[in-house]
């Protein structure tokens, strides 16, 4: 770990090398401990660290970039000069309004010392407990346990100066029998937030209860979606349309609702659906500022099923004469809603199942891909625990199904929302906190082999 003083000193030195009109420099550092396991034993234990400098240089309406992890004076100076030279080679971009003005980000606590200091032995103890749970039922258990630290820092010639360090922990568990599979995933910035025993029980029970599944006819079914499946929906909606760049370029599912609505907004989903992004919320994976050093603001994206607003970086905000919401998640690319929340409801999981006369309970989706941007139509399959619901109770496992379904349309059919939510950390810096859902209809097109 570098620490605030060393990180900012490195960026100050790099900024001092710049001969460009304007420059900003984004540092991303990570120290990761990872223990992978399969067949009931750890087979790979990795300690990995990296520090990357990302440089942007401005020449009028031109913007150039360069990246390096060579932190020697010569390496840093070379990257800074390369970014300047790249800017001079670029065509002018009339939409570029310059680097953002500096603003003081909020102080956010996402640091846990026990997580930062987690040893391979501590991770091995977690893995052992999970593997023993699977062994009791003759299951093959695999997965990964990771802990670590991520640091980010930004300085710019306009005066931006920001640093943040946070910890992270995650556990993924796969369980398999001869005819079934189970899965569970947990993540947080505090290792102690992970109930590893409960996660193990969750993965084990799905594999045990899912043995000898039977095939059913494809078609439209009411569904109860576990939090992992709901996470996939939010991740896709974010990736394919919650950022202002996709909206401005006309390739967002939000385009059917933004710019055509009345003063109240356009209804796209069930009134039970409220989704927002909040980078400062400690119930997610909080990061106080983005890759431009801009403070991350809460953005209400869907409120009561009504489409409100996408998230912005400085470029997209400049094109609309507004301010950045602090959502430049990565060094390149458009703005991303990456700390998403869905409002909980008042139903227990049993309530969701009990309200279903005949339908399916789905643990998660797998290998989902965009089929059409209009409505965010996705194709993929169910996996690791798909069950038939009959007369308000789960009766038997079914073989996994393929689907083609508009995620916007699916959320328009939300009938009930779970009262408990779960944090799903997809990767460092992208998280959702979501409840389980009961949907009136979901379109299944085939049965997997």
Residue 264 reports pLDDT greater than 60 = no
pLDDT at 258: 84
Residue 168 reports pLDDT greater than 70 = yes
pLDDT at 350: 97
pLDDT at 117: 96
Q: How confident is the model at residue 426 (pLDDT cuts 50, 70, 90)?
A: confident
Domains in the chain, please, with CATH? 4-198 (3.30.2290.10), 213-449 (no CATH)
Contact call for residues 440 and 222 (beta carbons, < 8 A): yes
pLDDT at 40: 87
pLDDT at 131: 97
pLDDT at 412: 98
Q: How confident is the model at residue 265 (pLDDT cuts 50, 70, 90)?
A: low
pLDDT at 443: 98
pLDDT at 63: 96
* Beta-carbon count within 10 A of 66 CB: 19
Residue 2 reports pLDDT greater than 90 = yes
User: Between vectors from CA 156 to CA 153 and to CA 157, what angle results, nearest 5°?
Assistant: 160
Residue 260 reports pLDDT greater than 60 = no
Residue 102 reports pLDDT greater than 80 = yes
For the segment 175-184, what is each residue's pLDDT rounded down to a tens digit? 999 999 999 9
pLDDT at 448: 85
Mean pLDDT, rounded, for 202-222: 98
pLDDT at 261: 47
First to last CA, the chain: 47
Q: What percent of the chain has pLDDT over 70?
A: 98
Residue 210 reports pLDDT greater than 90 = yes
Mean pLDDT, rounded, for 138-159: 97
Q: How confident is the model at residue 266 (pLDDT cuts 50, 70, 90)?
A: confident
DSSP bridge partners of 304 = none
d(CA 80, CA 57): 8
For the segment 50-97, what is each residue's pLDDT rounded down to a tens digit? 999 999 999 999 999 999 999 999 999 999 999 999 999 999 999 999
Mean of all residue pLDDT scores within the chain:
95
The distance of Cα 147 from the centroid of its chain, to the nearest Å, equals: 17
pLDDT at 199: 98
For the segment 358-383, what is each residue's pLDDT rounded down to a tens digit? 999 999 999 999 999 999 999 999 99
pLDDT at 259: 64
pLDDT at 430: 87
């Amino acid at each position: 770990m570098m620490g605030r003083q060393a990180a900012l000193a490195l960026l100050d030195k790099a900024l001092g090398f710049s001969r460009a009109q304007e420059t900003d420099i984004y540092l991303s550092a990570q120290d990761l401990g990872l223990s992978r396991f399969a067949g009931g034993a750890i087979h790979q234990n990795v300690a990995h660290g990296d520090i990357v400098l990302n440089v942007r240089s401005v020449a009028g309406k031109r913007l150039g970039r360069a990246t390096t992890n060579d932190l020697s004076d010569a390496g840093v100076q070379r990257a800074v000069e390369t970014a300047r030279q790249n800017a001079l080679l670029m065509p002018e971009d009339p939409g570029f309004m310059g680097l953002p003005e500096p603003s003081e980000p909020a102080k956010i606590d996402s640091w846990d010392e026990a997580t930062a200091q987690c040893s391979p032995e501590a991770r091995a103890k977690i893995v052992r407990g999970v593997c023993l749970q699977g062994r009791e039922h003759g299951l093959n258990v695999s997965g990964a346990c990771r802990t670590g630290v991520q640091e980010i820092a930004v300085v710019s010639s306009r005066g931006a100066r920001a640093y943040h360090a946070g910890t992270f922990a995650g556990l993924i568990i796969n369980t398999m029998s001869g005819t079934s599979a189970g899965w569970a995933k947990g993540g947080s910035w505090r290792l102690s937030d992970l109930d590893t025993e409960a996660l193990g029980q969750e993965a084990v029970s799905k594999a045990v209860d899912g043995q000898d599944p039977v095939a059913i006819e494809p078609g439209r079914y009411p569904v109860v979606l576990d939090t992992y499946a709901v996470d996939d929906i939010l991740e896709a909606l974010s990736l394919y349309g919650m950022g202002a760049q996709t909206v401005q370029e006309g390739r967002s599912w939000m385009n059917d609702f933004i710019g055509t609505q009345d003063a109240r907004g356009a209804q796209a989903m069930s009134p039970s659906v409220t989704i927002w992004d909040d980078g400062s919320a400690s119930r997610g994976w909080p990061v106080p500022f983005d890759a431009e050093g801009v403070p991350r603001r809460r953005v209400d994206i869907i409120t009561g099923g009504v489409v409100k607003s996408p998230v912005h970086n400085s470029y997209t905000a400049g094109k609309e004469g507004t301010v950045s919401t602090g959502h430049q998640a990565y060094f390149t690319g458009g703005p991303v809603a990456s700390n998403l929340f869905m409002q909980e409801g008042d139903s227990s999981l049993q309530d969701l199942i009990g309200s279903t006369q005949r339908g399916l309970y789905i643990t998660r989706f797998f290998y989902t891909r965009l089929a059409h941007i209009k409505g965010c139509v996705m194709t993929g399959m169910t996996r690791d625990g798909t069950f038939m619901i009959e007369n308000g109770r789960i009766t038997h496992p079914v073989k996994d199904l393929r689907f083609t379904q508009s995620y916007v349309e699916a959320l328009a059919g939300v009938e009930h929302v779970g009262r408990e939510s779960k944090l799903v950390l997809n990767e460092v810096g992208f998280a959702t906190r979501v409840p389980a859902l009961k949907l009136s209809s979901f379109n299944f097109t085939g049965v997997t082999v």
